[in-house]
Structure 1
Amino acid sequence: MSAAPGPRLILASRSAARRAMLTAAGVPFTAKDAGVDEDAIKTRLNGIEPAALALELARAKAVAVSTRDPDAWVLGSDQTLALEGGMVSKAPDLSAARARLVSLRGRPHALHSGVALAHAGQVVWSSVDTARMQVRAFSDAFLDAYLAAEGEALLGSVGCYRLEGMGAQLFDRVEGDHFTVLGMPLWPVLAELRRAGVILA
């Protein structure tokens, strides 16, 4: 979506879901890959709580793009998945995605969505929100059908599911904000963009 005259907003993310959220909400923005080394950040912050890591990754993305374009407002966002005390990373291929979904089957986990707004190379606001997900005890036949239908699109999600699609059938219960599950807590983001004068109040 093209930026309108006035304050420019950049989404520092490759996420199609985050782009779709802002577009549907009528927020003018452009998207840029932040180009941060997430693995290096995770290594440096080894042992950090999953929610705090989501926030630090969001802040790093926002600052990276804001430093290159200090006149723009930059929105960074990231998501982590916590499963029984451990943290899960994105699956590299469909075989790993299948194993990931099997590991989640019948168990609860938490999705933490961090977000940060930066301007002139500095974070001016950040927040994190959590959704609690209960995966149902789905059959192997459903898993096969799901993987065949969704394909490599699943690799963009840390949980290997897209709630806005067939992935909704994976769950018995979701507690928390729908947008947080999709990858960004939209309501607080919109409130902060209004406060900053990026969108109309």
Structure 2
Amino acid sequence: MQDEVILYTNPQSRGRIARWILEEVNASYRAEILEFGGSMKAPAYLKINPMGKVPAIVHRDQVVTEGAAICAYLAEAFPQAGLAPLPDERASYYRWLFFTAGPLEAAISDVKILGVEADAQKQRSLGYGSYATALDSLSSWLVDHAYVTGERFTAADVYVGSQIAWGLEFGTIEKRAEFIDYAQRVTARDAYRRAMEKDDALEVTA
């Protein structure tokens, strides 16, 4: 099919973000399941994503990698889903989408995965400053807003919601009430449940 999306993924990866947004926009897609260290590093796939990581999508002969970019791209490619930002939502949409993909994930990776926390002097050179500052920044927004852009769910919530939900589950994000409430809101969506069921089934049969 001309408008079909090809999703390169693995159920134990950030590919779950891409499947969720594909379900949200109701795209016609097929999933190519890649293996870590195997087909993910094969020459054929490296031509699509030289990083040898998932997710990646191919749509209309265009390649998109990175979870946040995939969410933003698909929201625009399938406007009928209504998940792209309205004019007055663009500022918060892009702000928190890129914040979560950049400073927040970097802070989580450094402090919670690598166990490296910079002192006050070195924090001035880090985009996220400190882990606590990164959490406080997003937390302060979600205390007063139901979703990333305010009161309406958008594609940015797929990415931000995924990061928060996973962080709460695996202990890399503090269990603050605003994070818990937000995660519960976004993961209650039918598209989220469909996507998780499909990836969970793949994990069972793997």
| TM over 0.5, shorter chain | no
Question: If each structure's strand is expressed as a fraction of its own residues, which one has the higher value?
Answer: 1
Normalised by the size of structure 1, how large is the TM-score? 0.31
Query: TM-score scaled to structure 2, two decimals?
Result: 0.31
More helix by share: 2
